[in-house]
Amino acid sequence: MFIDRVNAVLTKHSGRALDQLEIKFIFEAKLVDHLNNWIRFAMSAHTKSLAFDLAPPDNFPKYGDHYRFPFEQFTDKKSVSCLACLQLSFVCFEPPPANFIGFPNLRKLHLHVLKTTRQDLESILCSCVNLEWLSLLRCHLKDQMKVVRRPLSHLHYLKVVHCDITKIEFNAPMLSTFVYDGPYIPITLHHAAKLENATIRFLGAVFQHCIASLLNGLPDVHNLTLHLGMQELEARWMLNSPRVFSHLRHVQILLIIHYEEYDKILYLVSF
């Protein structure tokens, strides 16, 4: 049995420091106590890299809910300070307890199929004061993804893919790489003067609207790759924005358009 094998392995490593712990299996509600025990073990072993790659059962969402991440186990400063990398899949973030100390030395965070609210996600991310790398995949907030209350001063890499959100707004002054793939939404990266590379794939948007939005949200980008699927093009248009891409060195635009739109492509050059 999988549970017994994991417990046997952890028993062999009891009392030792553990660099990495990775658990990967299909989540079932009856296994919550085991998962909590494994996280408790990881914290006691001063684990540096923790991955809980849980998969939903075949009959999800009828089966049940995500695994509630136990923030109450992250209260010992010495143990939590060892954690540098955290990868979580199919988990739920709820408001942490008052004695939760955050993740002071977390450098890398990957979240996949996360269930949470805009406020709780912002609260957790703001507790990662040294975060350098953040990836969010299929995290359906159905709301804004917003982290502005406290700047993520060390964040260099931000990736947001296939998330059901209405807007992205981050305060990340050291951000150098940004990746987005999903429906057209407003994107604002405050104070991102060091933004070197941005790769953006928008679905279902008018080209001119995308450019105007990016001018307002990413004006300092140096290298821009823009993928646009099934675009509508306006024959003649003018950007209604006083801003320009003042630092842009390289741009690549990949378009999927209808045949009857081909004669309008030359008008894109003017932006």
Distance CA 132, CA 90 (A): 22
- Our CA angle for 68, 71, 72, nearest 5°, is 115
Mean pLDDT of the chain: 87
Per DSSP bridges, beta strands 85-89 and 108-112 are parallel
Instruction: Give the lowest-confidence range in 39-43, 84-88, 97-101, 233-237.
Output: 233-237
Query: For residue 259, what pLDDT is reported?
Result: 64
Query: For residue 17, what pLDDT is reported?
Result: 81
Task: Find the length of the chain.
Answer: 271
Q: Which residues of 98-121 are buried (b: 16+ CB within 10 A; e: fewer)?
A: eebebbeebbbbbbbbbbbebebb
Sole residue written with tokens 């025990």: 37
Q: Does 62 have pLDDT greater than 70?
A: no
Distance CA 189, CA 170 (A): 5
Distance CA 86, CA 134 (A): 10
Q: Which of 255, 265, 250, 178 lies closest to 218, judged by CA?
A: 178
Q: Which residues of 207-239 are buried (b: 16+ CB within 10 A; e: fewer)?
A: bbebbbbbbebbbbbbbbebbbeebebeeebee
Query: For residue 119, what pLDDT is reported?
Result: 95
Distance CA 62, CA 66 (A): 12
Per DSSP bridges, beta strands 177-183 and 157-161 are parallel
pLDDT digits (tens, 9 = 90+) for 170-194: 999 999 999 999 999 999 999 999 9
Query: For residue 64, what pLDDT is reported?
Result: 56
pLDDT confidence bin for 61, thresholds 50/70/90 = low
Query: For residue 131, what pLDDT is reported?
Result: 98
Domains, the chain, ordered by start: 1-142 (3.80.10), 176-270 (no CATH)
